[in-house]
Amino acid sequence: MSATPIAATEAEIAAVAWNADGLVPVITQEVGTGRVLMLAWMNEDALRATLAEGRMVYWSRSRQELWRKGDTSGDRQWVRSGAYDCDVDALLFQVEQEGNGACHTGEVSCFFRPFGGGAVPGRV
Amino acid sequence: MSATPIAATEAEIAAVAWNADGLVPVITQEVGTGRVLMLAWMNEDALRATLAEGRMVYWSRSRQELWRKGDTSGDRQWVRSGAYDCDVDALLFQVEQEGNGACHTGEVSCFFRPFGGGAVPGRV
């Protein structure tokens, strides 16, 4: 799959309403299927890297470092489009998901347990 | 459109990893189209109300109160399914969107401005 950088303007990046930690929540959706793959976070460096490299780069809150999704797993996410919401405090990216899927559990989407579904709750 | 309550278990609700403000981010997606409509927040009361009433109830961070989506605008969101992610720190609900759409601007989705799209940035 190919990287497609997005030529965002400086004004667009400057408009993002980062939270108190300097982060913004990001929804990642699979092109074609429309499946919501995951929700993660970006700081400004991660957003700039994502737009410039054409692949999803998040900020890992647990590791406190840039997280180039798929560098370890191979499950990279190739950006096809990105958008910001009316409050500019949430982002939506549409991607082609490479490899096995977005989730570290092996599921395609991180949202694989429905409420009322009888799964064992808790972090997996 | 009809309300479809979801019989979530107490264990599922107890498992949610609320942030320091007692909130969790929620992605709302339109059934059928797969369109991502919005990202908003719920506290435990909002989640319980959403599951019990079968329509989306958020926590308004600006007004600091429960926000029964559509009570003012008529643009209610009827729940069809809900899921939590692998870390139990983000939720995804699929809904039937009533009325004109999810966004206060009149757009169907809050994510109507693409990066690089030339729109005027800023909260609208």
Helix H, strand E, coil C: the string for A59-120 is EECCCCEEEECCCCCCCCEEEEEEEECCCCCCEEEEEEECCCCCCCCCCCCCCCEECCCCCC
Q: Is residue A66 part of a domain?
A: yes
Q: Which residue range(s) make up the domain with A16?
A: 10-97
Phi then psi for residue A36, to 5 deg, are -80, 120
Q: Is residue A117 part of a domain?
A: no
| Residue B55's CATH number | 3.10.20.810
**pLDDT tens track for B86-121:** 999 999 999 999 999 999 999 999 999 999 997 877
Contact B123/A14, CB-based, under 8 Å? no
Mean of the per-residue pLDDT values of chain A:
95
**pLDDT tens track for B14-52:** 999 999 999 999 999 999 999 999 999 999 999 999 999
Q: Is residue A50 part of a domain?
A: yes
The answer to whether A80 and A96 have CB atoms below 8 angstroms apart is yes
- Tell me what the mean pLDDT of segment A14-41 comes to: 97
> How close, in Å, is residue B114 to chain A by CA atoms?
4
Q: Is residue A83 part of a domain?
A: yes
Phi then psi for residue B74, to 5 deg, are 85, -5
Q: Is residue B118 part of a domain?
A: no
pLDDT band at residue A124 using 50, 70 and 90 as cut-offs: confident
Interface of B with A in 46-105 (CB under 8 A): 51, 81-88, 90, 92, 103-105
pLDDT band at residue B2 using 50, 70 and 90 as cut-offs: confident
Q: Is residue B29 part of a domain?
A: yes
Q: Is residue A43 part of a domain?
A: yes
> How close, in Å, is residue A104 to chain B by CA atoms?
8
Q: Determine which helix (DSSP H) or strand (DSSP E) holds A27, and give its type and residue range.
A: strand A24-30
Count how many domains chain A has.
1
Q: Determine which helix (DSSP H) or strand (DSSP E) holds B41, and give its type and residue range.
A: strand B36-42
Q: Is residue A115 part of a domain?
A: no
H helical segments located in chain B: 10-15, 44-53
Q: Give how far the C-alpha of residue B63 lies from the chain's centroid of Cα atoms, to the nearest Å.
A: 16
pLDDT at residue B86, rounded to an integer: 96
